[in-house]
Structure 1
Amino acid sequence: MKRPRLALALSLCLALGASPLLSAQTAPPLPASASSAPLLEAITVSGVQPGPGLWTVTRGDHTLLILGTLSPIPRDVTWKTDQIDDALAHAGELILPPKVEIKPNVGFFGRLALLPSLIGVRNAPDDATLQQTLPPDVYQRWLAVKARYIGDNRKVERYRPIFAAVELYKEAVKKAGLRKSGDITRTVVDLATKHNVRQVPVPYTLLVDDPRAVVKAFKRSTLDDVSCFTQSVDNIDAQLADMTRRANAWATGDMTNLRDDRRAKQLQTCLDAITEGGVAQRAGIADVPREVRTLWLATVDDAMAHNAQTVAIVPIDDLLGDDGYLAALKAKGYTVQSPDDE
């Protein structure tokens, strides 16, 4: 069974590579100038729009309505909340998005002692540079997108490829005028508060025993992350355009155009690079996506057992696909109806 993709690809990557081990909350062209970065058309969905559709999950007389959240989205995108507002007005509980934390299984002073060993943890073993690590053609393509989105950052040249890819993604999203989907979740939480709906968190915490040994082993280890890096470099411009298209689709309830097989493939490649290494498996990090999905499904089972109606918020990337949460619900015997079927 494949692991759920989620933004776990980024959170687990950061958990392996920085202080989030304490707490983890993605002919060679010549380098282009930063001014050549693609400009995305600003999106403001106006007028009477249906807003994002809700998946309907049923078993007997019990109903679960799921809002899939999209990230990132344009800063000025708006969406109509009538449907989710009405759903919450008749709901017994709101299941919040899963939250993952990866922490050292030590006390306060143990965490302080761990901090020095975290210095340089993003860097490649033996101080190798990206130019030394990557195939020449991939490195030339990297220089082009780095010039557009990151600029003259020499430190990133000593990062492992997967951490350089994370830095590229973060800076490209920022330059494109996009933002995280936190406002969507906050809006839903505010609506739930207005209707006095009980909010149910889905927290998963992995306690890492002997974290200093894990950090040392990770610094010495290699990751099979060149494929993840290559896809990130080659897809970044198209991804920014796709983000605009998907944001429009999300705000207007167009489920067909929310699907993005290229993004799903890239996320899975990067997640595999993180979780299939020996260090990740010994620390238990490889099991996190499966454990999070199991915890979420158990939370749904409990809510469906005692509520006539429940609402849940889940990232779109976790919902869709053969290994997504919707497929898992069907496998458990629930009836799942897409917004397209309404």
Structure 2
Amino acid sequence: MSRLPRVPLFATLLYLACAGGAAAQVPPPPDTVPTLEAVTVSGVQPGPGLWRATKGGHVLLILGTLSPIPGNITWKTDDVDDAVAHAGALILPPHTEVKPNVGFFGKLALLPSLIGVRNSPDGKTLDETVPPDVYARWQAVKARYIGDERKVERYRPIFAAIELYKQAVKKSGLRKSGYITDAVVAMAKKHNVPQVPVDYTLLIDDPRAVVKEFKKSTLDDLACFTQSVDNIEPQLAAMRDRANAWATGDIAALKDERRAKQISTCLDAVTEGGLAQRIGLTDVPAQVRARWLAAVDAQTAANAQTVAIVPLDDLIGAKGYLSALEARGFKVESPDDDDSPGNTAGGTP
């Protein structure tokens, strides 16, 4: 590994959906935890619809992607393929990473300092970091989804929560949605449609010093960890329901306010510290959004029709990309728009 953790590592927090952070009862022992209902959607499904944003006679069609999604579905691509075939450009999903501002040998020198970057300061274990009642609940869900793994016990709470999420998703029949983007890119290649990347790289000066400071710093991540532990079961159920809604094109069922609360809690734990502010991590979402909007402005001005792929977490909500488009004068219509105020856009479906 020759770079600092990518922003998507922190963006993984976006998928720690929960039941809103309310206090939960201590779950029963591992052998009595109820088995999660399997994902029900399989086979060929209609897939998601496309948001439509228009301005000055130019059309932007947006495919919102969801991750994770059912692992055993095949979504119908006819509508998306037709949209891409008639597009002048395909705007790719925003991509962000954090990289050390050093050369090849500087990256090699950085490698030793990255060892243990997820671990708690001063070698503390979770049972020394979180309250006893929270740790007891952690032990129950850890036994169910992670097992006897000891390494995770030395993680900072927020990284332990990420590991819990990752392992739980593996057992729930869900998978990442990267193959959806790959399918759309293949369509663009088939129809000779230019692909427009939206990339942002945050370069870190003196990365070894940054890593050293991060290892010594504390994160206010107890609330994130507690919510994640207490809500892993309803969290997985919500993931399943949203995944099924995405696969069947049920836009209205994609709304999840509790998920947004969990996102806010966990991201605040990462970005509100002084280190994150000094290296510019807190500015990344705004920088990425500005680049995406700039790409939209350029491509919609140059083409009668443009297609874009955007993760749903970025797309919907009061601060989502759809709201930003409306603020720039676009008329935005949701895939299931029936001309009622509640279905025309600004944010949540």
Q: What does 1:16-27 align with in structure 2 at a 5 Å threshold?
A: 26=16
Give the conservation status (yes or no) of the 8 Å contact 1:77–1:247. Answer: no
Query: Deviation at 1:37?
Result: 4.4
Q: Which moved further from structure 2: 242-251 or 79-88?
A: 242-251
TM-score by length of 1: 0.90
Matches of 1:102 and 1:11, distance apart in 2: 10
Q: Is the 8 A contact 1:74 1:179 kept in 2?
A: yes
Of residues 292, 295, 298 in structure 1, which corresponds to 2:291?
295
| Paired-residue identity, % | 67
- CA distances 1:7-65 after superposition (whole Å, capped 9, x unpaired): x98523689xxxxxxxxxx474454049854241342154xx54311100010110000
1:22 matched to which residue of 2?
none
Which residue of structure 2 lines up, in the alignment, with residue 3 of structure 1?
none
The alignment partner of 2:87 has SS state of: coil
Counterpart CA distance in 2 for 1:122 and 1:150 is 17
**For 1:222 and 1:162, how far apart are their aligned partners in 2?**
11
Is the contact made by 1:58 and 1:336 (CA closer than 8 Å) also made in structure 2? yes
CA distance in structure 2 between the partners assigned to 1:335 and 1:187 by the alignment: 28
Alignment partner of 1:217 is 2:213? yes
Structure 2 match to 1:11 = 9
C-alpha offsets along residues 287-317 of structure 1, whole Å, 9 cap, x if unaligned? 1111111111111111111010000000011
The answer on whether the counterparts of 2:50 and 2:62 sit within 8 Å (CA) in structure 1 is yes
Runs of 4+ in 1 over 2 A off after TM superposition: 8-15, 26-31, 33-37
What does residue 247 of structure 1 align with? 243
Residues 307-329 of structure 1: per-residue CA shift (max 9 Å, x gap): 10000000011111101111111
* Aligned residue in 2 for 1:69: 65
TM-score, normalising length from structure 2? Answer: 0.88
Counterpart CA distance in 1 for 2:12 and 2:70 is 24
2:190 corresponds to 1:194: yes
The alignment covers a number of residue pairs equal to: 323
The code of the aligned residue for 1:197 comes to V
Report the Cα offset of residue 73 of structure 1.
0.9
Q: Which residue of 1 aligns with 2:154?
A: 158
Find the partner of 1:85 among 77, 81, 85.
81
Matches of 1:13 and 1:338, distance apart in 2: 25
| Root mean square deviation of aligned Cα | 1.9
The within-5 A match list for 1:1-342 is: 11-12=9-10, 26=16, 28-33=26-31, 37-46=35-44, 50-342=46-338
Gap runs ≥5 in structure 2: 1-5, 17-24, 339-349
Of the structure 1 ranges 78-87 and 54-63, higher mean CA displacement relative to structure 2 is found in 78-87
- Report deviation, 1:105: 0.3
Corresponding letter in the other structure for 1:154: R
Structure 1: 5+ residue stretches without partners: 1-7, 16-25
CA 1:55/1:265 → structure 2, altered by over 3 Å: closer, same or farther?
same
- Displacement, 1:103? 0.4
1:78 positional shift: 2.1
Query: What is the DSSP-based 3-state SS (H/G/I as helix, E as strand, rest coil) of the residue aligned with 2:148?
Result: coil
Q: Given that residues 67 and 313 in structure 1 are in contact (C-alpha distance below 8 angstroms), is that contact kept between their aligned partners in structure 2?
A: yes
1:134, 1:226 within 8 Å by CA — same for their partners in 2? yes
Deviations 1:187-219 (A, max 9, x none): 111111111111111111111000011011111
Contact 1:94 1:192 in 2 (8 A): yes
Q: CA deviation at 1:242?
A: 1.6
- Asked if the contact 1:55/1:337 (under 8 Å) is kept, the reply is yes
Q: More deviation in 164-173 or 49-58? A: 49-58
| Alpha-carbon distance in structure 2 between the residues aligned to 1:65 and 1:76 | 26
Change (3 A) 1:10 1:192: closer
Determine the C-alpha separation between the residues in 1 that align with 2:9 and 2:310: 16
Distance 2:143 2:37 in 1: 16
The 1:9–1:111 alpha-carbon spacing in structure 2 relative to 1, beyond 3 Å, is: closer
